[in-house]
Structure 1
Amino acid sequence: MSVGTDVSGGAHARGIGWRLACLDEVLQRGCGDARSCFDSRFVNLHMDNLSAFNHFHDWYMDTIQLSKERETRTLGLYLQDQRASVSFVGMNRCVLENLGLQNIVYAIEIIEPGTSGFGKAQQILAKAERWTDNQLGTVAYAFSTCGAELVVEFDSLEIESQAS
């Protein structure tokens, strides 16, 4: 199963182009605060995808991949007989801390601007160099029960899952 989001709620994220099309749609609807209205809609779409997997609570992280061509960080996760990959496409900044032999996810959350978690995530991301000049990144935090924690700024989220 592959989960992603596009303007019509389909099955594939389209990165910054999708976000710009979404922003244009929001502006045409006459949203008073286009940035706020747009960000809220974009974050809610990601939250729905993560919610389908209970935010990967208690899943084990066993692989971490980086694709320079797609500017993508991908986490390989498993829980019993299920495997999933979570890809942060259009990654701009990323910090990975406390990687160990056993890495158990507590939750992968989209961190919204204006929250205390967003401020903490921005402090962590300040350690990383930007890959691009793009300033429109969504921020996700992979909190751990044990081991690695990840904070990443990105454009779109792709989740693929399969039973082993």
Structure 2
Amino acid sequence: MDAIKNYGSFHDWYLLSISADMKAELVELLLMFDDRKQRARVVFKGASRCLVNDFLIQNIIYEAKILTDFDSGEYERALDSLEKSYFGKVNREPKPIAVFSATLGAELLVEFDSLEVEPISPAIATT
């Protein structure tokens, strides 16, 4: 989970797009830094639930973090938000939850097994 910390928790990065594939259990984010040159793809594998609120034409990330302390109040609040959106609670082992809070626009939660963060060139991002 240090991959997100390596990018400064994506503070002041823009969330450009979100892609979800239920069958493949993938959620993919495309992010761009304020300089419009640095870009990254964040792929959540084994994604079982995703909740996005307030997606706008401009979405600026305040902070991204991974919750792994399953007994913490913050984890419980994130889990509760997912449970409210995904009715019919399923008994399952707890998983990490990614929390992206916003300075402006979208906030999201992703429950997942593993993640990858990879830098991408602007040319790849626009095709």
Q: Answer whether TM exceeds 0.5 for this pair.
A: yes
Matched residue, 1:72: 26
Q: Which has the larger radius of gyration?
A: 1
Matched residue, 1:116: 73
Is the contact made by 1:58 and 1:104 (CA closer than 8 Å) also made in structure 2? yes
TM score, norm. by length of structure 1 = 0.65
Matched residue type, 2:103: T
- Segments of 4+ moved more than 4 angstroms: none
TM score, norm. by length of structure 2 = 0.83
Matched residue type, 1:104: I
SS of residue matched to 2:84: coil
Corresponding residue to 2:14 among 60, 83, 99 = 60
Q: Could you tell me how far apart the structure 1 residues matched to 2:80 and 2:21 are? A: 25
Residue 156, structure 1, aligned to residue 114, structure 2? yes
Matched residue, 2:43: 87
Deviations 1:99-120 (A, max 9, x none): 1111011111011222221121
CA RMSD of aligned residues (A): 1.8
Matched residue type, 1:144: A
Query: Relative contact order (C-alpha < 8 Å, sep 6+): which is higher?
Result: 2
Residue 142, structure 1, aligned to residue 100, structure 2? yes
SS of residue matched to 1:127: helix
Gaps of 5+ in 1: 1-45
Give the paired residue count. Answer: 117
Higher helix fraction: Structure 1 or Structure 2?
Answer: 1
Deviations 1:7-40 (A, max 9, x none): xxxxxxxxxxxxxxxxxxxxxxxxxxxxxxxxxx
Higher strand fraction: Structure 1 or Structure 2?
Answer: 2
Is the contact made by 1:136 and 1:155 (CA closer than 8 Å) also made in structure 2? no
Q: Could you tell me how far apart the structure 2 residues matched to 1:124 and 1:68 are? A: 19
Report the identity percentage: 34
